[in-house]
């Protein structure tokens, strides 16, 4: 695979990494509101993400240029990125993500199934609403997921410039972007200042989107409390599963120490306890634990206070920017 191919795959995978994180939190909230969708939402999300992956790998034409959508999203051309989310631009991906109503499809609407919305509607009419919900999630979260990955790439670029010798070839690549004339010196300070400005621009883009975000678009997150009942139940289940595995791995009579233990638990005489009885006992405890865990996971009393997930991320990005800026100070303070 070529270097360009690897970079392109990196961009697609990087964006989807952050998008999956957003979708997981949104799914948790949706299931808390409507537990009945728990059995189907994973399949619907998977199908929508696969569709989005194809969109990210697709090409858009800007004059003579044909550029992949993922590469535009993590690039520095704001106009091209804005075109992707326009409702009128020919390069828009809005209606590739969100299926249009049947009356806006034209002749294709004559086919009963012609997109994800109608596919899942054919399985269960109520699923159409879930499809539309997830498609809107993708549209809301895609710009932020792209910014988070773009921020990671930009931090890595700054780190490389401040920790590695910069060759003349690298300096020449910056000449046009820095508006330097032939013969002008391009210093390390010039390069770091330029890349930090790019990093700040990505941060400001994320911050501005938070100010423009409607309340219904935000991601409400509630973290499980440390030491919650569900956490404790998971630990107990893990221990009993480990014991069950050990019991089933061996055969024959139980060791005396285990016989004495299960004799007390089963209220039997020590010489009456068998391996099969011990296995049945552990399976019963595991089944009961699973039922309790299900109830704990649905009960919000075991979760912390709700908060706006993306605003917390915004603060984290600000802290990362300040930290990177501080690391670059020795170069920035170099006399011109």
Other C-beta atoms closer than 10 Å to the C-beta of 157 total 14
Q: In angstroms, rounded to a whole number, what is the distance separating the alpha carbons of residues 261 and 267?
A: 10
Helix axes 127-163, 188-212, angle to 10 degrees: 160
Least confident range from 12-16, 46-50, 206-210, 330-334: namely 330-334
Q: Residue 33: count other Cβ atoms within 10 Å of its Cβ.
A: 8
Cα angle 241, 243, 244; round to 5: 65
Residue 59 host element (H or E) = strand 59-62
pLDDT for 304: 75
Question: Which of 21-30, 238-247, 299-308 has the least mean pLDDT?
Answer: 299-308
Whether the per-residue pLDDT at 300 is higher than 70: the answer is no
User: How high is the pLDDT of residue 299?
Assistant: 61
> For residue 314, which phi and psi values (nearest 5 degrees)?
-60, -45
Q: Pick the residue with more confidence: 76 or 300?
A: 76
In the chain, what's the furthest Cα-to-Cα distance? 95
| Ranges assigned E (strand) in the chain | 59-62, 65-68, 220-221, 307-308
Asked if the model's pLDDT at residue 178 lies above 70, the reply is: yes
Tens-place pLDDT, residues 96-114: 999 877 655 555 556 788 8
pLDDT at 1: 42
pLDDT tens digits along 48-82:
999 999 999 999 999 999 999 999 999 999 999 99
pLDDT at 274 over 80: yes
Average pLDDT over residues 179-208: 95
Of 193 and 259, the structure prediction assigns the larger pLDDT to 193
pLDDT (average), residues 194-222: 95
Distances (CA, A) of 67 to 7, 20, 62, 95, 117: 13, 24, 8, 19, 28
Separation of alpha carbons 139 and 130, rounded Å: 14
For residues 130 and 44, is the Cβ–Cβ distance under 8 A?
Answer: yes
Give the pLDDT band (50/70/90) at residue 2: very low
Averaged over 207-227, what is the pLDDT?
A: 88
Distance of CA 265 to the CA centre of its chain: 45
Per DSSP, helices labelled H in 250-299 are: 256-266, 275-298
Using CA atoms, how far apart are residues 175 and 323, in angstroms rounded to an integer?
27
Alpha helices in 34-126, H assignment, sequence order: 41-57, 69-73, 78-84, 94-97, 116-123
Instruction: Band the pLDDT of 4: cuts 50, 70, 90.
Output: low
Q: What is the pLDDT of residue 53?
A: 96
For residue 218, the number of C-alpha atoms closer than 13 Å in the C-beta half-sphere is 18
| Cβ–Cβ under 8 Å, residues 136 and 30 | no
Tell me the percentage of the chain whose pLDDT exceeds 90: 62
CA distance 175 to 298: 58
Calculate Rg over the CA atoms of the chain: 28
CB 16 within 8 A of CB 49: yes
* β-sheet bridge partners, residue 280: none
DSSP state of 66: E
Average pLDDT along the chain: 89
How much is the pLDDT for 289?
86
Q: Who has greater pLDDT, 224 or 279?
A: 279
- pLDDT band (50, 70, 90) for residue 266: confident
Specify the 3-state DSSP secondary structure of 62.
strand
pLDDT at residue 252 in the model = 84
Q: For the segment 107-154, what is each residue's pLDDT rounded down to a tens digit?
A: 555 678 888 888 888 888 888 899 999 999 999 999 999 999 999 999
Report which DSSP code applies to 178. Answer: T
Between CA 13 and CA 18 the distance in angstroms is 9
């Amino acid at each position: 695979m070529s270097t360009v191919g690897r970079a392109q795959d990196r961009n697609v995978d990087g964006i989807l990494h952050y998008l999956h994180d957003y979708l997981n939190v949104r799914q948790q909230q949706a299931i808390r509101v409507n537990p009945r969708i728990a059995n189907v939402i994973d399949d619907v999300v998977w199908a929508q993400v696969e569709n989005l992956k194809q969109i990210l790998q697709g090409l858009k034409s800007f004059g003579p240029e044909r550029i992949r959508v993922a590469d535009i999203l993590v690039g520095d051309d704001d106009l091209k990125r804005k075109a992707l989310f326009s409702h009128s631009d020919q390069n828009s991906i809005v209606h590739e993500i969100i299926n249009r109503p049947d009356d806006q499809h034209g002749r294709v609407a004559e086919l009963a199934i012609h997109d994800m919305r109608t596919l899942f509607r054919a399985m269960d009419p109520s699923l159409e609403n879930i499809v539309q919900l997830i498609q809107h999630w993708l549209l809301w979260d895609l710009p932020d997921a792209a910014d988070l990955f773009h921020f990671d790439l930009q931090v890595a670029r700054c780190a490389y410039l401040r920790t590695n010798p910069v060759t003349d070839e690298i300096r020449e690549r910056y000449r046009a972007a820095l508006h330097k004339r032939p013969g002008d010196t391009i210093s390390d300070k010039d390069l770091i200042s330029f890349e930090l400005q790019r990093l700040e621009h990505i941060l400001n883009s994320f911050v501005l989107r938070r100010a423009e975000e409607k309340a219904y678009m935000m991601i409400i997150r509630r973290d499980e409390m440390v030491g919650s009942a569900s956490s404790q139940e998971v630990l107990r289940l893990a221990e009993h599963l480990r014991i069950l595995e050990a019991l089933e791995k061996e055969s024959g009579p139980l060791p005396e120490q285990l016989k004495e233990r299960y004799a007390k638990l089963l209220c039997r005489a020590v010489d009456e306890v068998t391996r099969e009885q011990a296995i049945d006992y552990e399976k019963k405890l595991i089944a009961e634990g699973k039922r309790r865990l299900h109830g704990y996971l649905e009960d919000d009393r075991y979760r912390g206070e709700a908060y706006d997930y993306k605003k917390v991320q915004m603060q984290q990005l600000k802290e990362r920017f300040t930290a990177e800026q501080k690391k670059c100070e020795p170069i920035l303070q170099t006399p011109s």
